Amino acid sequence: RVTPPAARRFYHEKDIRPRNPGSLDKSDPAVGTGLVGAPACGDVMKLQIKVDESGTITDAKFKTFGCGSAIASSSYLTTLVKGMRLEDAAKIKNVDISKELCLPPVKLHCSMLAEDAIKAAIADYHTKNPGITASNLAGT
> Which residues in this chain contact ligand FES in the complex, by CB under 6 A?
38, 40-41, 43, 66-67, 69-70, 107, 109-110, 113
Residues in CB range of 28: below 8 A, 6 or more apart: 50
Which of residues 38 and 132 has its CB atom nearest to ligand FES in the complex? 38
Which of residues 61 and 109 has its CB atom nearest to ligand FES in the complex? 109
44-51, strands of its sheet edge to edge: 31-37, 44-51, 57-65
* CA-based nearest residue to 67, from 35, 103, 97: 103
Positions marked catalytic: 41, 110
Beta carbon of residue 68, minimum distance to ligand FES (angstroms, whole number): 8
DSSP category for residue 85: B
Calpha distance 83→128 (Å, rounded): 20
**C-alpha distances in Å from residue 75, one per residue of 2, 71, 78, 131:** 20, 6, 5, 30
Which of residues 31 and 70 has its CB atom nearest to ligand FES in the complex? 70
Beta carbon of residue 42, minimum distance to ligand FES (angstroms, whole number): 7
Which of residues 29 and 93 has its CB atom nearest to ligand FES in the complex? 93
Q: Distance from CA of residue 18 to its chain's centroid?
A: 13
Beta carbon of residue 94, minimum distance to ligand FES (angstroms, whole number): 11
Beta carbon of residue 63, minimum distance to ligand FES (angstroms, whole number): 13
